Structure 1
């Protein structure tokens, strides 16, 4: 029934609807805003990954310290 969920003519119809709804004057501003949002999302994702890697390093360092001091708990 649904061999290909999205065919090229579907994209054409979506493009025409977007142009009709937003108009050609607002499309560059909208594209700029979407681009800026994607850049912010990318930078935040990168920061979260870096924080996660630092947390793993810190946790592995703490577990090594605990292994050296077995009598203290």
Structure 2
């Protein structure tokens, strides 16, 4: 288990900003997921909600905020 450091939190915040920007540009949820896959990220459903993960290794980055999960 890894501990979050300040840089981990900053990187996660930057990735979330990118994901929010791409959601604003996309016309549909499917297009949005395709756009973020181009940056090397994906959305995965878990028991605790949706998470952002890296592709193709599926390393969790952060939790997807509820306003983007809809």
What band does the TM-score fall into relative to the shorter chain? 0.3 to 0.5
Which one has the bigger strand percentage? 2
Bigger RCO (CA 8 Å, 6+ sep) = 2
TM-score by length of 1: 0.31
Greater C-alpha Rg: 1
* TM-score, normalised via structure 2 length: 0.33
- Whose helix fraction is larger, Structure 1's or Structure 2's? 1
